């Protein structure tokens, strides 16, 4: 099958594309220059606005915000992976009374805006999450409570469950696509030696499908990390809300936004680098050719 999606541009088309790219580049540079000039006129590049980030108290606040962001992301990732796997298996089930509800749940949470879901869970269940957190605090030591964020369960809980439900529905479709991309003979070979459908899925299909699903899954997890910023809406003390409080105190919008941007970029780069390492490891063990063939089959 041919994977070529467009014809190679000729000399005239290349000249036109170069002109358009140059024009857009000049326009973008002019716009960026105007924004920078306006901010400089407003005094946002004053060195005094950067000095708060040398304050140990501000640094500690940023670290606490970063830890809160990572905590919410880790919880949501773990729960989302579990939800996604369960929904994917349910949608692939041969029993209609399992497949239809799983399909409805996936389509519902995929089409629901995550912001609306966060607000709904916060307004409807914040008291229940808070009671559950108080219950756990009665059994766990204070240090562990602070590390796990149980003392913030009234806000952490709605954020985590909202992101896990939203991302779990998307991951379910990724998992299902990875399983369906495998040749049918893989499952038939398992059935021929007497394995049940669950055993075929667990021992034959899932290990191979992971190689197909890995890049897209990691991309979705990066998106989930950025979605933790929605905790700002419900006053969860994550990184973005910490930056907003710094801005409100020092009126240093540009320095604070720059620091937030650098932190988020470094986090995403770390996850992307981990994904590349995992991909290289898979290619080393299984061969790049087989992986590319599976990805082509998945795209088809």
Provide the residue ranges of all domains of the chain, joining segments of one domain with +.
54-299
Amino acid 2: pLDDT:
44
Query: Residue 24 corresponds to which tokens in the numbers above?
Result: 């857009």
**Whole-angstrom distance, CA of residue 185 vs CA of residue 191:** 10
pLDDT tens across the length of the chain (300 residues):
444 555 677 777 778 888 888 888 898 888 888 877 877 777 777 788 888 888 889 999 999 999 999 999 999 999 999 999 999 989 988 889 989 999 999 999 998 899 999 999 999 999 999 999 898 888 888 888 888 888 899 999 999 999 999 999 999 999 888 888 888 777 778 878 877 777 887 778 877 777 778 778 888 888 888 899 899 889 898 888 898 888 888 888 888 888 888 898 888 888 878 877 877 776 666 554 444 444 433 333
Amino acid 190: pLDDT:
80
Residue with tokens 């790049």: 288
Ramachandran assignment for 287, one of left (phi > 0), alpha (psi -120 to 50 degrees), beta (any other): left
- What would the pLDDT profile of 75-104 be if each residue is shown by its tens digit? 999 999 999 999 998 998 888 998 999 999
Amino acid 283: pLDDT:
67
Query: Residue 23 corresponds to which tokens in the numbers above?
Result: 């024009």
**Whole-angstrom distance, CA of residue 55 vs CA of residue 44:** 19
- What would the pLDDT profile of 158-189 be if each residue is shown by its tens digit? 999 999 999 999 999 998 888 888 887 777 78
**Whole-angstrom distance, CA of residue 254 vs CA of residue 246:** 11
Question: Architecture of 54-299 per CATH?
Answer: Orthogonal Bundle (1.10)
**Whole-angstrom distance, CA of residue 82 vs CA of residue 57:** 38
Amino acid 128: pLDDT:
92
């Amino acid at each position: 099958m041919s994977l070529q999606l467009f014809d190679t541009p000729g000399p005239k088309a290349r000249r036109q594309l170069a002109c358009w790219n140059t024009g857009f580049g000049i326009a973008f540079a002019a716009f960026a220059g105007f924004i920078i000039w306006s901010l400089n006129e407003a005094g946002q590049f004053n060195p005094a606005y950067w000095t708060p980030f040398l304050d140990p108290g501000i640094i500690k606040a940023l670290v606490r915000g970063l830890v809160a962001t990572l905590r919410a992301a880790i919880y949501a990732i773990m729960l989302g992976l579990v939800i996604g796997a369960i929904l994917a298996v349910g949608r692939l089930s041969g029993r209609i009374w399992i497949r239809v509800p799983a399909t409805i749940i996936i389509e519902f949470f995929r089409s629901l805006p995550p912001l609306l879901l966060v607000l709904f869970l916060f307004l409807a269940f914040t008291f229940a999450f808070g009671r559950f957190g108080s219950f756990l605090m009665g059994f766990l030591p204070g240090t562990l409570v602070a590390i796990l964020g149980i003392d913030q369960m009234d806000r952490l809980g709605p954020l985590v469950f909202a992101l896990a439900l939203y991302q779990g529905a998307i991951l379910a479709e990724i998992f299902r696509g990875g399983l369906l991309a495998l040749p049918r003979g893989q499952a038939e070979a398992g059935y021929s030696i007497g394995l049940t459908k669950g055993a075929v899925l667990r021992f034959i299909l899932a290990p191979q499908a992971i190689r197909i699903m890995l890049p897209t899954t990691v991309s979705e997890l990066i998106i989930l990390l950025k979605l933790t910023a929605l905790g700002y809406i419900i006053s969860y003390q994550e990184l973005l809300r910490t930056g907003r409080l710094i801005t409100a105190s020092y009126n240093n919008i540009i320095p604070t936004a720059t620091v937030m941007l650098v932190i988020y970029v470094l986090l995403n780069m770390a996850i992307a680098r981990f994904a590349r390492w995992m991909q290289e490891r898979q290619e080393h063990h299984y061969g790049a050719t087989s992986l590319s063939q599976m990805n082509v089959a998945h795209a088809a």
